[in-house]
């Protein structure tokens, strides 16, 4: 799987280019005056009363894979995700690996333990990406229910390339469409109990993949203000496909599938609105206030969110809610007021627990007062699983907690550990080669601060790279755009976002700076402070002038701490 951050970065560039073009060509047409409801594009209303439909019996999930050629059992890997907070948090979560077996007719059979609730399946197949052999996503986060018995037949027929998407370069960096890129010459055919969910998602993905961020197509609706006609077309196509499968899928599962499909596309939609307002605010456009007012007025006409039991299981929907709230809270300066307070007021019960927890776990490093908000959330959130997630965040990232004692190779292959820098202030920056924001951060801020403290032996600058290809990492170092040769440049050994240090800090966006004091304790994790040169300089000076408090004891893990397994 490609890093989630890669497609975010690419989407950002597309958004900026499209919005800037719109700005230049129209002299700022009031395009956001009549924003249509995101749900109206699909023409389907999400059912709000499904509480009784989420109850299942207890049964395992069985997957049978019929490869196009005789395959060994180790050619495929199947993972089951039991509880997932959000799609971004999924990358950091340790799934249950399902042991498979070969049946009499040489098909591969995988069976989970008995479950009583909805979960997600990931199927990986050995392949080659960028010249390197690795397990690649064949199916990514597919919804499963207890008792599903799905047969997956692989056929090398090139139908996808012939019928849907001749140019697959546009989805190369996409986390969502990665499986279509990796196995573009294959088609998957599904049968058996529960297979309609798989077929619906798979058909919709293939049909819309060539339209997302495609600016060469015409709008199919009157959705004024939507700067991506390709995504507009994609939503209409997906809507027709979902209707075709609606009666063949359990109602509760269908609502989850539909809600998430709407959400991953609409997250981009609200992100574009935010970028547009920021652009107008930066240019001091006098009509920005009217645009914001119209956007908020339209929001009052949007259909209600789905039932809390649906949101509770969704991967993408909670993130869409957060991005949507940021858009609603934006002011004429391009900034937004407290999203946390708005979410806390708007949602209740399970929905509130899920949304608040997702917001803090996935966005805490962007919030100035996140520890204060975390304290409040711990008093508000009642669901055991989410409460545990908040406590885990508190145990790991609260200022003054022991930092993670990483053990990583440098450019010479020497193993470097955090404990090697006892008594020094340690600054860490997480990055990857294709990250344009990482380049911007280094050239405009970090490089200046490195020079500022170049002669101070008590300050150490460390970078941690997540590229899976070592050659790309080494090449980027020598380009002097992401980091410098004077910094201690470390590598995650090809594990990328699967490396323990990335999971520990829940790094889901890049660049990601962290400042550690002389005692090996977390001092500052704020993106808003550490990504500005002056504030970073002040933070380092503050740590340098602190008196030592206790011994240097960075942590290797959370082992030994009591964590309640909790319940949904």
pLDDT of residue 130: 66
**How many degrees, rounded to 5, is the angle at CA 454 between CA 450 and CA 460?**
70
Integer Cα distance of 163 and 161 in angstroms:
6
pLDDT of residue 212: 65
pLDDT of residue 112: 94
Integer Cα distance of 489 and 429 in angstroms:
10
Integer Cα distance of 107 and 103 in angstroms:
6
Q: Reply yes or no on whether the pLDDT at 498 is more than 60.
A: yes
Q: Reply yes or no on whether the pLDDT at 222 is more than 50.
A: no
| 8 Å CB contact between 176 and 8 | no
Place of tokens 């959130």: 381
Integer Cα distance of 90 and 112 in angstroms:
18
pLDDT of residue 566: 38
Q: Which of 360, 342, 385, 395 is nearest to 504 (CA)?
A: 395
Mean pLDDT of 377-389: 93
Who wins on pLDDT, 229 or 452? 452
**Residue 498: both structure tokens together:** 């699967």
**How many degrees, rounded to 5, is the angle at CA 524 between CA 563 and CA 392?**
10
| Lowest-confidence pick of 217-221, 258-262, 286-290 | 217-221
Who wins on pLDDT, 238 or 568? 238
Integer Cα distance of 234 and 20 in angstroms:
23
List, as one string, the DSSP characters of 76-127: EEEEEES--S-HHHHTTS--EEEPEEE-TTS-EEEEPPPBSS-EEEEEEEEE
At 226, is the secondary structure helix, strand, or coil?
coil
- Rg (the chain; Cα; Å): 24
**How many degrees, rounded to 5, is the angle at CA 99 between CA 90 and CA 125?**
65
Q: Reply yes or no on whether the pLDDT at 326 is more than 50.
A: yes
Who wins on pLDDT, 140 or 16? 140
Mean pLDDT of 166-185: 73
Mean pLDDT of 50-74: 76
Helix, strand and coil content of the chain, in percent to the nearest 5, comes to 45, 20, 35
Q: Reply yes or no on whether the pLDDT at 298 is more than 60.
A: yes
pLDDT digits (tens, 9 = 90+) for 144-160: 999 999 999 999 988 87
Q: Reply yes or no on whether the pLDDT at 470 is more than 80.
A: yes
Integer Cα distance of 46 and 39 in angstroms:
8
**Residue 552: both structure tokens together:** 């240097």
Q: Reply yes or no on whether the pLDDT at 32 is more than 50.
A: no
Report the run of H or E that residue 295 belongs to, with start and end: helix 288-299
Residue 163, number of CB atoms within 10 A of its CB: 11
CATH superfamily, domain 407-544, is: Glutaredoxin (3.40.30.10)
Place of tokens 């499209």: 18
Q: Which of 366, 296, 301, 358 is nearest to 338 (CA)?
A: 366
- Where are the domain boundaries for CATH 3.40.30.10 in the chain? 407-544
pLDDT of residue 174: 66
| 8 Å CB contact between 230 and 212 | yes
pLDDT digits (tens, 9 = 90+) for 87-144: 887 777 778 999 899 988 889 999 999 998 899 999 999 887 767 777 888 999 999 9
List, as one string, the DSSP characters of 323-382: HHHHHHTB-TTS-B--HHHHHHHH--HHHHHHHHHHHHHHHGGG-TTHHHHHHHHHHH--
Place of tokens 């991005």: 323
Q: Reply yes or no on whether the pLDDT at 191 is more than 90.
A: yes
Q: Quote the distance between the C-alpha of residue 477 and its chain's center.
A: 26
Give the pLDDT band of residue 345 (cuts 50, 70, 90): very high
Mean pLDDT of 68-76: 78
pTM for this model (two decimals): 0.79
Place of tokens 């697959």: 168
Q: Residue 401 has what DSSP assignment?
A: S
pLDDT digits (tens, 9 = 90+) for 160-172: 787 777 676 666 6
| 8 Å CB contact between 140 and 176 | yes
Integer Cα distance of 310 and 28 in angstroms:
39
The Cβ-side half-sphere exposure at 142, using a 13 Å CA radius, reads 30
At 424, is the secondary structure helix, strand, or coil?
coil
Q: Reply yes or no on whether the pLDDT at 80 is more than 90.
A: yes
pLDDT of residue 285: 86
């Amino acid at each position: 799987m490609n890093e989630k951050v890669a497609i975010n970065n690419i989407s950002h560039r597309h958004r900026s280019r499209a919005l800037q073009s719109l700005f230049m060509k129209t002299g700022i047409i009031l395009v956001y005056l009549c924003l249509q409801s995101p749900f109206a594009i699909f023409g389907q209303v999400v059912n709000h009363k499904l509480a009784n439909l989420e109850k299942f019996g207890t049964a395992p999930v069985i997957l049978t894979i019929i490869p196009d050629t005789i395959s060994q059992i180790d050619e495929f890997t199947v993972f089951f995700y039991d509880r997932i907070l959000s799609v971004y948090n999924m990358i950091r979560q340790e799934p249950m690996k399902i042991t498979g077996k070969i049946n009499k007719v040489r098909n591969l059979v995988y069976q989970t333990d008995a479950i009583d609730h909805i979960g997600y399946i990931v199927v990986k197949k050995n392949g080659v990406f960028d010249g390197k052999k690795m397990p690649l996503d064949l199916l990514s986060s597919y919804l499963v229910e207890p008792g599903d018995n799905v047969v997956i037949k692989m056929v090398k027929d090139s139908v996808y390339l012939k019928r849907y998407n001749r140019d697959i370069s546009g989805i190369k960096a996409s986390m969502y469409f990665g499986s279509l890129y990796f196995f573009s010459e294959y088609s998957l055919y599904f049968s058996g109990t529960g297979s309609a969910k798989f077929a619906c998602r798979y058909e919709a993905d293939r049909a819309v993949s060539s339209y997302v961020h495609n600016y060469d197509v015409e709008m199919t609706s009157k959705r004024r203000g939507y700067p991506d006609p390709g995504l507009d077309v994609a939503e209409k196509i997906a809507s027709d496909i979902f209707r075709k499968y609606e009666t063949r899928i359990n109602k509760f599962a269908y609502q989850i599938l539909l809600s998430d499909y709407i959400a991953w596309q609409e997250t981009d939609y609200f992100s574009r609105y935010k970028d547009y307002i920021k652009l107008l605010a930066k240019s001091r456009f006098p009509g920005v206030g009217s645009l914001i007012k119209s956007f908020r007025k339209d929001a009052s006409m949007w259909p209600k969110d789905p039932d809390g039991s649906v949101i509770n299981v969704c991967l993408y929907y909670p993130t869409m809610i957060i991005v949507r709230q940021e858009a609603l809270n934006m002011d004429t300066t391009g900034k937004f007021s407290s999203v946390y307070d708005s979410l806390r007021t708007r949602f209740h019960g399970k929905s509130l627990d899920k949304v608040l927890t997702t917001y803090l776990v996935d966005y805490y490093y962007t919030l100035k007062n996140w520890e204060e908000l975390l304290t409040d959330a711990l008093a508000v959130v009642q669901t055991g699983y989410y409460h545990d997630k908040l406590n885990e965040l508190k145990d790991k990232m609260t200022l003054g907690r022991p930092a993670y004692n990483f053990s990583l190779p440098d450019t010479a292959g020497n193993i470097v550990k955090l404990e090697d820098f006892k008594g020094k202030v340690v600054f860490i920056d997480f990055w990857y080669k294709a990250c344009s924001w990482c380049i911007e951060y280094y050239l405009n801020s970090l490089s200046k601060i490195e020079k500022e403290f170049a002669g101070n032996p008590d300050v150490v600058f460390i970078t941690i790279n997540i590229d899976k290809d070592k050659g790309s990492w080494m090449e980027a170092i020598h380009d002097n755009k992401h980091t410098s040769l004077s910094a201690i440049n470390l590598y995650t050994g090809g594990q990328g976002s699967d490396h323990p240090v990335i999971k520990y800090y829940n790094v889901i966006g890049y660049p990601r700076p962290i400042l550690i004091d002389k005692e090996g304790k977390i001092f500052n994790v704020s993106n808003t402070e550490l990504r500005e040169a002056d504030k970073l300089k002040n933070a380092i000076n503050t740590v340098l002038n602190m008196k030592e408090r206790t011994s240097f004891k960075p942590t290797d893990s959370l082992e030994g701490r009591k964590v309640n397994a909790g319940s949904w």
